[in-house]
Structure 1
């Protein structure tokens, strides 16, 4: 890994959603709330009440910190569950399942930390969507692991160099709280103008 100290697990989610958004949040220190981020913060305030207990046959612990020395990751879990000797992360998200895979990267990063901390393989995780009250299974496949490791490296490079990725307009921009800071459509027009 590069000389970056530790990468926030949530940075993988942001980078997978949009590298420019990740740069704004973790390099430039910019953040703006919108209704989606406020709902998400409210959900995590409820979820991040430290505690542990059993639910049926499943042991649960909330709001513990996860860390990986190998991947230089650190972050707070929403929920870790253990059943039949196997641990797995459960990441809480507002809304319902979206069409993008950025939430999966956050779950895989948590699984990598859990594996290192427990010395046990983590083969699955879940994303709990509050609006639909449904869990989505995330199978921690070799392909997802490779994708997460590549994303960790990309975020590490981003943090180390501080080089701003170009904003690119896509459907993802519609719900982004940093849209007015980024103005990706304006950047595209400026780039087109400069090319002519």
Structure 2
């Protein structure tokens, strides 16, 4: 049984379950321009420390953990305003097209709630290229999606079962595209069915 699930694995799983399997079961990871930009951004953001900005206390590079959900990971930034805790996840690029980033923020919120005993109802995703924050409502629906993703990732990590490589628009920016070759897998499947 898996001890703890990395919070980032939920993001990878929601982006592509096959990618998640490759990264966390096979230990395979390849950089591309997007992952290098993301790593560079996080290197700058993860300077450990805290500071006060007017009414907002900001804490960087905070380790989060949830015993209930068996999650662990590092938050880019946690803000505290009037006793309310708010996770802020940094991403390269512009506003995301997919919901995987929101799910990662929700997982951070679940950890923060357990660690602080306070409800977390709001998070943000900061997009570096646009210098914009996207609010993320930590709704009941998003929480259920996060809990379902936690269960799915747990199953992949515990069983090692490989999800199929399915070609989607997301494949175009994936650093692992050359390893899984989803179009080739689809051709093999069609050939077998013919």
Q: Deviations over 1:120-176 (max 9, x none)?
A: 000010000000000000000000000000000000000000000000000000000
- Which aligned pairs between 1:1-196 and structure 2 lie closer than 5 A? 3-196=1-194
CA RMSD of aligned residues (A): 0.5
Q: Deviations over 1:33-52 (max 9, x none)?
A: 00000000000000000000
List structure 1 segments (4+ residues) > 2 angstroms apart after TM superposition: none
Cα offset, 1:14, TM superposition: 0.1
SS in 2 for 1:64: strand
- 5+ residue gaps, structure 1: none
SS in 1 for 2:20: helix
- 5+ residue gaps, structure 2: none
TM-score normalised by L of structure 2: 0.99
TM-score normalised by L of structure 1: 0.98
Q: Deviations over 1:76-135 (max 9, x none)?
A: 010000001100100000001121010011000000000000000000100000000000
Cα offset, 1:55, TM superposition: 1.1
Cα offset, 1:56, TM superposition: 1.6
SS in 2 for 1:188: helix
